[in-house]
Amino acid sequence: MDTSSPLRQAAALVAREFAAPHAHVVDQEARFPIEAINALKREKLLSAYVPVALGGAGAGLTELVDIVEILARECASTAMIFAMHQIQVITLVRHAAGNPWYVNYLRELVEHQYLIASVTSEVGVGGEMRRSNCAVEVDGQRFRLVKDATTISYGAQADDLLVTARRNPDAANSDQSLVLVRKADYMLEQKGGWDTMGMRGTCSPPFLMTSSGDAAQIIDMPFGDMSAQTVVPVSHLLWGGCWMGCAAGAVNKARAFVRGQARANPGTVPPTALRLAELVSMMQSLRTSVQACLTEYEALSAADDAAVGTLTSMGYSLKMNNLKVDATQALPLIVSKALSICGILGYKNDSKFSMSRHLRDAHSAAIMVGNDRILATNANLLLVLKDD
């Protein structure tokens, strides 16, 4: 990773000074990592992807994935919040920047460092992002939207929400729009708690959302197109940064543990060094698969209109889904192996080699859009996709 860019250096400072010192308490109390998120705002990192012409830093996706990894090494919840927010910003920049309302909004986001949450999951639909029960109801220049959401990360702390819904009350449940709703225009009624195994700092309980707004806030492009071109690949890549950081945090503890053993018995190679060699190889495979997909996505996104055909193809969708499933299966295995290397010191909660938080956070990855749901989509694609 190129750590020399100002944005990466700012992220490293936030990770070291504001995420790491509070990560344990954030996890223990399942509370929002306010110190780290405020620091990210001070460093103007929430608007990193916004083009320079609108006041942002004009960062690329690769830089954002690196920032997510840097944060996740210290606090995976902070990293996941940052990743989820960036998915929303990237979607707006790529698909709504032709709309004057959104141009103005993005300028305001840079100035005020708004934090945007995502509302795709819904009661009765679960984690199927490409279906909605709720519908946008337009009346003249205003709309109304009510959504019974199963999970909204940092819903209570967000400034604004980006919500999927059926285009209108008569639309099929796959005919979706994407709508940004502003804090002053929505109400959230919390319907449950967030006392989870891991990712406790994301604060993601269910909420009933009631909102209204200007019809200009309904993005013109169908959500299905945005999903294929941007939301799904960018999510899997930014989450990939979080999974790499979570894994690297555990691997680095295991490395320190083995080095300590080696120092205690100079001239000998500790037996755990063999397991460490395997572990580092697993980490390398995870990194290689995320990086390969990232490089390809960056190239396709920068290419001409013909590349849109590739991004929306079944083959590409299959590949990005495979990245998610493979990486999320690898992550808990990597952390478990790091735990076995550190032994009792990895098992203890009050040891500097503790793996508890990494392991609990790691298990969120496979259910954050259930892997079986993704594999079921792939199974359907494979029935019609020609052989390579």
Ligand X SMILES: Cc1cc2nc3c(=O)[nH]c(=O)nc-3n(C[C@H](O)[C@H](O)[C@H](O)COP(=O)(O)OP(=O)(O)OC[C@H]3O[C@@H](n4cnc5c(N)ncnc54)[C@H](O)[C@@H]3O)c2cc1C
* Residues at the interface with ligand X (CB under 6 A): 84, 117-121, 126-128, 151-153, 199, 202, 204, 364, 367-370, 372-373, 376
121 or 229, CB closer to ligand X? 121
Q: For residue 131, give both structure tokens.
A: 């279906």
Residues in CB range of 277: below 8 A, 6 or more apart: none
* In the complex, least distance from residue 294 CB atom to ligand X, rounded to whole angstroms: 21
54 or 125, CB closer to ligand X? 125
* In the complex, least distance from residue 114 CB atom to ligand X, rounded to whole angstroms: 16
- In angstroms, the CA 201 to CA 39 distance is 16
202 or 354, CB closer to ligand X? 202
Asked if 54 and 89 touch (Cβ cutoff 8 Å), the reply is no
117 or 248, CB closer to ligand X? 117
User: Which residue type is seen at 229?
Assistant: Q
- In angstroms, the CA 90 to CA 26 distance is 27
47 or 120, CB closer to ligand X? 120
* In the complex, least distance from residue 296 CB atom to ligand X, rounded to whole angstroms: 24
* In the complex, least distance from residue 336 CB atom to ligand X, rounded to whole angstroms: 19
Give the strand pairing for 160-166 and 116-119: parallel
* In the complex, least distance from residue 122 CB atom to ligand X, rounded to whole angstroms: 8
- 164 bridge partner residues: 178
Q: For residue 232, give both structure tokens.
A: 């799904």
* In the complex, least distance from residue 337 CB atom to ligand X, rounded to whole angstroms: 23
The DSSP code for 12 is: H
Give Cα separations from 228 to 27, 28, 130, 184, 328 (angstroms).
Answer: 33, 37, 10, 31, 20
128 or 159, CB closer to ligand X? 128
351 or 378, CB closer to ligand X? 378
* In the complex, least distance from residue 150 CB atom to ligand X, rounded to whole angstroms: 6
